[in-house]
Amino acid sequence: MAAKKYSEQELLGKTKLGLRDVLKELGLEFDNAKSNEEIIKMILTAQKSGGGHNVDNDPDGDEEDNTAGNVTITCGGSTGVFQVVGKSIAYCRKEFTASHNIARDSEALLNGTKMADENHILKDEDYLEFVKKSGDKL
């Protein structure tokens, strides 16, 4: 059964705790420092872009599938191609920490660009790399 697709009006009626539950449903990371308006925008963007692992935005199947495709994920010597289009960087960090040995303090690079917002939704053919800053020499 597909997760519910929320309207802006429904989300405006939710508390921060309720919004956190919706984020969890969509596989997005909750940040208590964000305002309710920012969280609602993140949810609506994820739903619009096909984000979330159970959201059925097109039950009739007459629109293009925004979650089709693959993302290459790499960390050190571990590389793989996964069907995580529509998921967040934070979801991938959590899901692949063990298999790719992703360090807690590693930085996420998406297509070569450092990503401060790990709630960014991945697209087909993205290249996600987790890198750990090495020590500086004196």
Domain coordinates of the chain in residue numbers?
Answer: 8-48, 71-131
List pLDDT tens digits, range 120-138.
999 988 999 999 877 655 5
Q: Rounded to whole angstroms, what are the CA distances from 50 to 88, 111, 119, 124?
A: 11, 20, 14, 12
**Is 89 a residue whose pLDDT tops 90?**
yes
Q: What mean pLDDT is predicted for residues 40-47?
A: 82
pLDDT band at 104 (very low <50, low <70, confident <90, very high): confident
Distance of CA 37 to the CA centre of its chain: 18
List pLDDT tens digits, range 56-82.
434 444 444 556 688 999 998 888 888
- List Cβ neighbours of 2 (8 Å cut-off, separation of 6 or more): 54, 55, 56, 59
Place of tokens 């993140």: 42
CA-closest candidate to residue 87, choices 102, 70, 101: 70
**Is 115 a residue whose pLDDT tops 70?**
yes
CB atoms within 10 A of CB 57: 17
pLDDT given for residue 49 in this prediction: 65
Give me the chain's average pLDDT, please: 80
pLDDT band at 110 (very low <50, low <70, confident <90, very high): very high
Strand partners, 11: none
pLDDT band at 8 (very low <50, low <70, confident <90, very high): confident
CA-closest candidate to residue 96, choices 68, 65, 71: 71
pLDDT given for residue 66 in this prediction: 56
Length of the chain, please? 138
Residue type, 92: C
pTM of the model: 0.53
Q: What mean pLDDT is predicted for residues 13-33?
A: 84
Fold that domain 71-131 belongs to in CATH:
Ubiquitin-like (UB roll) (3.10.20)
CA-closest candidate to residue 6, choices 43, 60, 51: 43
φ/ψ of residue 40, rounded to 5: -60, -45
Taking the CA atoms of 54, 110, 80 and 131 in sequence, report the sign of the dihedral they define: negative
pLDDT given for residue 116 in this prediction: 86
